[in-house]
Structure 1
Amino acid sequence: MFMSPAQVARVASSVLATILLSSSVNASPQKSSSRRATTCNGSPDLCDRSFGNVTFVGAHDSYAVGINNLATNQDYNITQQMNDGIRMLQMQTHNQSGVIQLCHTSCALYNGGPLSTYLGTVKSWLDANPNEVLSMLIVNSDDFPPTAFDAVFKSVGLDTISYAPPSASIPATQWPTLGSLIDSGKRLLTFMDAEADFTSVPYIIDEFTNIWESPYDVTTSFDCSVNRTKGDSSTQMYLINHFLDSLILGQPAPDPSQANQTNAVSGTNSLGAQFELCVSEYGRNPNFMLVDFYEYGGGSVFEVAATANGVTYSPTTPIATPIPQGSSSSSSGSSGTGSPNGAATAFSQWSSAWVVVSSAMIGAWCAL
């Protein structure tokens, strides 16, 4: 049987349409097989929640690790902190001979090592925990330009997993969901208190145009007043500083003796009480709760956050336990990154007190 040219054309057109349809059908599973996060920061219920609508527990001076030392704020290093549930790491940077160093007020008082080592640990942890979104808050004490931080981030590979927002300032309601951050691979959000420049390094985000903070260095009772901001506090995310200091020779210093109650779910001056106070004043949850000695309270700080997020706090393994003051510093679990290094950090309480006096004389102590 012979076909006319018109019949040949119709058959060819039909065959081509069949091939295209088959290709389209076969391609659809590939599209649907793209990664879609089903568990985000430990819960499937958080995947569709905006970053600006989640409450995270943060470690104040996360690098300042040790015991029997007035200049330390945590018992355990950052790996343990993150394993236990800390999702904001706050740090204070200083210029030591051109190197970005993690120091508490001054590198002579407490030297937590170079930022590069610290960030290398963060990168390793994020690589091992692909369903976690983490934020960092950098206190840029010596006003390094953001390009200096960019170089350190690139040296350890953190630039490739850092989220860069579409603009320098974003209202709390417009941040991406945790699921989309995980799916995109941009799971690290870095905020900086000074010198951030969106035009030069967009993934280092200006803190105070996006986040306001409550008062810090509290020695009496916590409140929810707006202490620092450069934006509209009614639309920004917000952070509550919930670490209680005691006065040593007239200067504030971390106080682990009250940490169980300070970190508690309820009661006078507890984290839960400040959380509820802030919600009553602003009608929305704080986004970040910054604490000292996070493990005091047996996980109570994470329970407050879980309740705020509408999920259940049920850790698969127990969190670290408090280390009594007076114990050997070698038992603190603070070896490795995030722990003190060098003889300059081996102060006893008495020598730390002497440095407090010296710091007071030059008007510097414990600034965030």
Structure 2
Amino acid sequence: MPPSTLTPRFLRLVLLLVAIVLVPTQARPSDETTTAAVSSSPPSCLGSPLLCNVPYNLVTLAGTHASHAVRKDEDSLGTQDKDIKQQLADGIRALYLEVYPSPADSSTAELCFMSCATNDGGTLAATLQVITDFLNAEATEMLTIVVSNPGEVATEVITKEFKAQGLDTIAYVGPALGNWPTVSSLLANGKRIVVFGDKSVASLPSWMANYETMTQYTQLVVPPDDKWPMGRINYLDGKVPFFINYHLRWTNATVDGAVRPVPYAAEAAITNSWDLVSHIVDLRNNNFIWPHLVAVDFYDVPGCKLFDMVRNFNGVPIPGNQPSNFYPITNKAHTKVKSVAAPTTAGIGTLGLTLALLVIVSLFTYRI
């Protein structure tokens, strides 16, 4: 047909035909591309893809205080009712270890609470083996470990046990001020743990972070005092990278012939429920501090809010709950996970959609 004979009606029919052919390329990707989009999933870090791009010091971890001090029964002294292996399986990601000389061999390290006669949690070596096994099985997890040395064990004895498991090679020490690398960056570089040594650990090795210069912390409460103290809250003007919230309520009891504060197991269900929520929210509202580690005694008591609070602070939805948070994230460098869209063919779908719009306009302007 000569060009001069092309009528507007014919041109509109051609445009309509082109649009019908091209528009589905946007709406109906091939089976191959759809499968690829559905099967691919965002990486997970510390149990959620939402945490991969967050600086490690801004991630809030669920922790246990004196993690190794498991009670033998309800009448014995201790801080936990489940061992460290079960704690890790339940979601605990921060451990607090107290080191003493072994009663059997003073040249080896034991994990005890108050004294090895009061609560002996076994050797440091055995616990580090449990930690190593967990990290080997869970490639996207990290742990924070706080080492206290009330038994004044020689530092080389402590470090020997860490090195025996190769944990010194996967430990990371970041800057004393400001944010640390993101979780995904640390994982990609084979760094799986952060180990803090407090002032009782003399001559810290290079792979152990200094608890005294990198952390602030809250203190425990002993009745009748019901106010949660803020502890060393203003150290270095709040610029240290890590804040540790010890949410502990103890009571006085006679231990080894002396009156001493001990874990208040009878109050644990109250302490670890809304008291915990109130403590952390007050900490956030009054001091603008996000805790890196929230450590409690008896984390497994009914009604404990530890894991829910940690998810809220991390911006991770609570399973079975609405995907909104009780407490909004305002200062964490979260990068939300973007939905994965199926690819189109070189933008043809967009072109088809444009042509379709032109046809619709034409149809309303002229009748075919």
State if a TM-score over 0.5 links the two structures.
yes
Corresponding letter in the other structure for 1:214: T
Shift of residue 106 of structure 1? 1.4
Shift of residue 144 of structure 1? 3.3
Distance 1:109 1:196, change over 3 A: closer
Shift of residue 196 of structure 1? 5.0
Alignment of 1:39-118 (within 5 A): 39-66=44-71, 67-96=73-102, 97-118=106-127
* Root mean square deviation, CA, Å: 2.3
1:301 aligns with 2:306: yes
Structure 1 partner of 2:171: 162
CA distance in structure 2 between the partners assigned to 1:290 and 1:194 by the alignment: 19
Q: Which has the larger radius of gyration?
A: 2
Out of 185, 193, 210, the position equivalent to 1:188 is 193
Structure 2 partner of 1:203: 207
Distance 1:218 1:54, change over 3 A: farther
CA distance in structure 1 between the partners assigned to 2:200 and 2:65 by the alignment: 20
Distance 1:228 1:284, change over 3 A: closer
Shift of residue 294 of structure 1? 0.5
Distance 1:130 1:222, change over 3 A: farther
Deviations for 1:194-214, whole angstroms, at most 9, x for unmatched residues?
A: 25577x621111101000111
Unpaired stretches in structure 1, ≥5 consecutive residues: 1-35, 316-368
Structure 2 partner of 1:226: 231
Distance 1:73 1:233, change over 3 A: farther
Corresponding letter in the other structure for 2:100: H
Structure 2 partner of 1:282: 287
SS in 1 for 2:172: coil
Aligned residues of 2:173 and 2:208 also touching (Cα < 8 A): yes
SS in 2 for 1:208: helix
Shift of residue 86 of structure 1? 0.8
1:120 aligns with 2:129: yes
1:139 aligns with 2:151: no
Unpaired stretches in structure 2, ≥5 consecutive residues: 1-40, 321-368
Shift of residue 225 of structure 1? 2.0
Corresponding letter in the other structure for 1:281: N
Query: Kindly, what percent of the aligned residue pairs are identical?
Result: 28
Distance 1:299 1:68, change over 3 A: closer
Distance 1:104 1:195, change over 3 A: closer
Shift of residue 179 of structure 1? 0.9
Range 142-151 or range 286-295, more displaced = 142-151
SS in 2 for 1:174: coil
Out of 217, 236, 253, the position equivalent to 2:262 is 253
Structure 2 partner of 1:359: none
CA distance in structure 2 between the partners assigned to 1:49 and 1:309 by the alignment: 9
SS in 2 for 1:160: helix
Deviations for 1:293-322, whole angstroms, at most 9, x for unmatched residues?
A: 10114452010111111111329xxxxxxx
Aligned residues of 1:37 and 1:47 also touching (Cα < 8 A): no
Distance 1:314 1:233, change over 3 A: farther
Structure 1 partner of 2:319: 314
Shift of residue 218 of structure 1? 3.2
Shift of residue 37 of structure 1? 8.2
CA distance in structure 2 between the partners assigned to 1:113 and 1:128 by the alignment: 23
CA distance in structure 1 between the partners assigned to 2:260 and 2:244 by the alignment: 23
SS in 1 for 2:286: helix
Out of 205, 210, 217, the position equivalent to 1:213 is 217
Shift of residue 149 of structure 1? 2.0
SS in 2 for 1:65: coil
Question: TM-score of the superposition, structure 2-length normalised?
Answer: 0.68
Aligned residues of 2:220 and 2:228 also touching (Cα < 8 A): no
Structure 1 partner of 2:276: 271
1:179 aligns with 2:181: no
Corresponding letter in the other structure for 2:218: S
Aligned residues of 2:108 and 2:157 also touching (Cα < 8 A): no
Aligned residues of 2:148 and 2:201 also touching (Cα < 8 A): no
Structure 1 partner of 2:162: 153
CA distance in structure 1 between the partners assigned to 2:303 and 2:237 by the alignment: 33
CA distance in structure 2 between the partners assigned to 1:205 and 1:37 by the alignment: 31
Aligned residues of 1:37 and 1:183 also touching (Cα < 8 A): no
Shift of residue 57 of structure 1? 1.4
Aligned residues of 1:54 and 1:287 also touching (Cα < 8 A): yes
Aligned residues of 1:136 and 1:190 also touching (Cα < 8 A): yes
